[in-house]
Amino acid sequence: MSARHWGWLRRTSEQPLGNPAIPNPSQRASVARFLLRAGGVAASLLVLAILLNARMAGNVTTSTELQFAELLTPEVRAELVIFGSSHASYGIHPGVLERAGVEVYNFAIAGSSPRYYLNWYENLFRRSPHRPSTILYAVDWFMFDENLWKRQFEDDSEYFPVELFLRLLVSPDTSRRTLIMNRYPLIKERFYFETIFVARTDYHDVAMEKFYHGYAPLEHRSSLAPRAIALHHDEHQVRALETLLSMIQEDGLDVVFVQVPEYLGGRSIQGESPTVVDEVVHRTRLPYLNYNGERVGEINSDPALFSDWGHLNEKGSHRFSELLLQDLAKEELLPPWRLRSGSKPLAQAHLP
């Protein structure tokens, strides 16, 4: 054995017995102090995040938040409710329809597709403590085009009950990133960080001070110049609507379809036919009031009634809601008229 190996062996044998990997008391105390400081910093950051999250949640009020609140803890307990996209959300005033003597609530949500409503209905509406008798479903000729719908059900996770949030979190069909990113205002409102200090209402030019039963008027004004729209229908959306209608039928609710008037001079439809929605709706043999088709009228050509080609302004929504009320009454499609007249159920009714 070489002298080098003998030297190494002698040095090793002179070392004290024990595991050199085990830290001495001084090292353990140092690690404990570090962990204590790190834990303190983490706890402080967590408390700060909770406080900021609560602050931002209290400083942001949206129509969607109030709609979810009515759904989960009903106060209006409406007999007639409205489903649909922003065209209905800004275009149908519940207060006008309530002149018929029936409570009305507008659950139309901007950017909501049939797939959104299918999830919304199955997970929330069906479980609500109150159930209406009639649904006024506002359809759009572009409602089956997935390229035009960006809102996912998970986008509104901030308003979900804890039970629903946890159930969706473990579901393989859920977009978990979207679900989590929209659960907490501190993350959801990260591009509107000023809401920590300043209260804000909704994300668009919506007059929340005029909010009533789910409705708030749209105040912005855009160009009404013709806009080209490339239309493509997606079968997933068609099937979602059909599944939704089956659920509604199972629950014994009446449905009346309506298409909210648009400024017809402000759109140019390209691609597939916009009448596909009409064909799907007509197959249901349910009442359908189409104000861009058979019932087109003066509203469709009056630019003073629109914020843009697809959305009525406050004046337009009042004007249309009055017309809609007249037509619903004439066709005996509102709950009080149906009950008083003893007419046949809505599922068997037909437009002239």
SS3 content of the chain, % helix, strand, coil (to 5): 50, 10, 35
Q: What's the CA gap between 232 and 230, in Å, rounded? A: 7
Cβ-contact 310, 278 below 8 angstroms: no
Q: What's the CA gap between 86 and 109, in Å, rounded? A: 6
Which domains are delineated in the chain? 61-152+208-348 (3.40.50.1110)
End-to-end Cα separation, the chain, in angstroms: 111
Q: What's the CA gap between 89 and 69, in Å, rounded? A: 16
Q: Which two tokens stand for residue 184?
A: 């907490």
Residues, the chain, total? 352
Q: What's the CA gap between 104 and 77, in Å, rounded? A: 8
C-alpha 264: how far from chain center: 27
Could you give phi then psi for residue 257, rounded to 5 degrees? Answer: -90, 145
CB neighbour burial string for 3-16, b if at least 16 within 10 angstroms, e if fewer: eeeeeeeeeeeeee
Cβ-contact 56, 65 below 8 angstroms: no
Q: What's the CA gap between 107 and 131, in Å, rounded? A: 13
Per-residue pLDDT of the chain (352 residues; tens, 9 = 90+): 555 555 544 555 555 555 555 667 777 777 777 777 877 777 776 676 566 656 555 555 788 999 999 999 999 999 999 999 999 999 999 999 999 989 999 999 999 999 999 999 999 999 999 999 999 999 999 999 988 877 899 999 999 999 999 999 999 988 999 999 888 776 666 556 555 555 555 556 788 889 999 999 988 888 787 777 878 889 999 999 999 999 999 999 999 999 999 998 877 777 778 888 999 999 999 999 999 999 999 999 999 999 999 999 999 999 999 999 999 999 888 774 443 333 333 333 332 2
Q: What element of type H or E holds 60? A: strand 60-61
Write down the H helix ranges in 127-199.
162-169, 176-181, 185-188
Q: Which two tokens stand for residue 137?
A: 């479903």
Q: What element of type H or E holds 70? A: helix 63-72
3-state DSSP call for residue 338? Answer: helix
